[in-house]
Structures are given as structure tokens and as C-alpha cells.
Chains A and B, each alone.
Chain A
């Protein structure tokens, strides 16, 4: 399974539920296109729920960073919630834990955009 992204609205925050794999190829491309599409439509508060992500490689990490900078460059913010231990480990190793705003639960994450 490649990545599957489902978008829903919680107040003015766009929550993206991601499931599956974000790896070089189809998964990374799907992810990139979806985030850019959201940003281009003016969504400035994006919360990415990675709770069902089973695998991310360095290309997938690159897409997370790219999404973060794309949204930020348009005056918005992309934050993360629901990280599995594997994804947490990857963000620790790459020092990206210091870059992203990461939350354990969705309600707190949504409130943080206010």
C-alpha cells in the first residue's frame, strides 16, 4: 500500500489523516501533490496526523520538510500529531524534532493554531 490521505476540517484547521507508506516514488509524489494542493487553495492551518503511517524513508522525510516549508512560505503552519515510535525515532535522528511542532493528541494540536 502506498500512502492514503484523507482530509477533514476541524474548525479552521485542516486535518490530514495519512496512512500507509511515504517512500520514494508513488507515495512521496502523492503526499507532495496533496500538501501543495491544500496550500495553493489557501489552507494555512494544516495538521498532519501520521498515526497510521507504517513506513517513511528519507524521501518521505524530505516530503515532510518540503510540505512544512511550502505551507510556511505561504504564511501558514504545518504541524504533526500522532507520531508512531518509528517516525519519532526518524525525526530524532534527523534533528527534525526541533523543527516541527509535534503534538500527542489532536485536540491540543488544533488549539495550538489559535
Chain B
């Protein structure tokens, strides 16, 4: 595969419907890209969950399954870095206003753990307002070279 600008070896830009099928699609695209980068099975699983949770937030909480609203899905892959951007067309949210799922009073709540999992599984997790409307989430996962990986263990 030939490289594009900025050392990219893969670019994906898609406009997805606000459906659970789009969640499955985005997860599959990202996991395939991560597999091509050489991430192991456990990392693939974690990356997949992070993308699934982000997509679910965009489809369910952001766009509220509205068929007129789209999910803006981007993947940028270099030899060492996988970057995913997922944007919705919802009303936006403040991450700091989301209840802490680890707090004692929330531990038995049904929902609210998605952001926690994303944060645990990715190297970078940034949420910001998307212009003109909605929320954009950026996820980054870096491939650690084997030599560096062994030094950190």
C-alpha cells in the first residue's frame, strides 16, 4: 500500500447512518486497520470496544437514532499510529458532567461506563464540540515497537 501525505498508509472518510449496523461497520473497519498494523488479539479487542462505545454514544446519545442525522467517521493510519475520529450531529455534551461510574452511589447503575472503557483502552481520548453542531471524539492508539514494549514490561 503506498503512503499518502503525512506518512498515512490508510485513510477512511465515511458518512454513516445513525444505526447499530453502522456501529458494527465502524468497529470492523478499525479492527481491520489495527490488525494490519500488527496489534495483538488483546489490543484489537480493546480498540474494538473503544470504537464500539464511541459509535454507540454518537448513534444513541448524540444522534438519537435520527435517520436525518449522520455519523462522521474517519480513520487515519500511519505505520505506528491509528487515529479515529467519530462525530455526531447531536446537541453536544460536557464530559465533566457525566457521572463518575466508579463512585459508590453509581456503581450499580445500569449505564454510564462507556467513557471509562474508552479512556482505559486508548492512548488518547479527546472530546470536543463539532462545528456546526454535535460532538467530535478523537481516539488514538500507538503501536509500541517490540524493543520499547519489552523495556516497559
Residues of A within 8 A of B (CB): 23-25, 55, 57-59, 61-63, 65-66, 68-69, 86, 90, 93-96, 98-99
Give the residues in chain B near A95, CB-CB below 8 Å.
Answer: 102, 107
Give the residues in chain B near A86, CB-CB below 8 Å.
Answer: 42, 45
Distance in angstroms between the alpha carbons of A58 and B56 in the assembled complex: 10
| In contact, A57 and B108 (Cβ under 8 angstroms) | no
Given contacts A61-B113, A90-B117, A95-B107, 16 further A-B contacts (CB under 8 A): A24-B20, A24-B23, A25-B20, A57-B114, A57-B117, A58-B56, A58-B117, A59-B111, A62-B109, A62-B110, A86-B45, A93-B116, A93-B120, A94-B102, A94-B116, A99-B108
Does B134 sit at the interface, judged by CB under 8 A? no
Give the residues in chain B near A68, CB-CB below 8 Å.
Answer: 108
Distance in angstroms between the alpha carbons of A107 and B100 in the assembled complex: 36
- 0/1 per residue, B60-99, Cβ < 8 Å to A? 1000000000000000000000000000000000000000
Classify the secondary structure of B's interface with A. helix
- Determine which residue in A57, A65, A96, A98 has the highest number of CB atoms from chain B within 10 A of its CB, and name it: A57
- Determine which residue in B110, B111, B120 has the highest number of CB atoms from chain A within 10 A of its CB, and name it: B110
Within the complex, the shortest CB–CB distance from A26 to chain B, in Å, comes to 9
Q: How many A-B residue pairs have CB under 8 A?
A: 52
Residues of B within 8 A of A (CB): 20, 23, 42, 45, 49, 52-53, 56, 60, 101-102, 107-111, 113-114, 116-117, 120
| In contact, B56 and A94 (Cβ under 8 angstroms) | no
Give the residues in chain B near A24, CB-CB below 8 Å.
Answer: 20, 23, 56, 60
| In contact, A65 and B56 (Cβ under 8 angstroms) | no
Distance in angstroms between the alpha carbons of A106 and B113 in the assembled complex: 28
Give the residues in chain A near B108, CB-CB below 8 Å.
Answer: 65, 68-69, 99
| In contact, A66 and B110 (Cβ under 8 angstroms) | yes
| In contact, A62 and B113 (Cβ under 8 angstroms) | yes
Give the residues in chain B near A63, CB-CB below 8 Å.
Answer: 110
Distance in angstroms between the alpha carbons of A61 and B116 in the assembled complex: 12
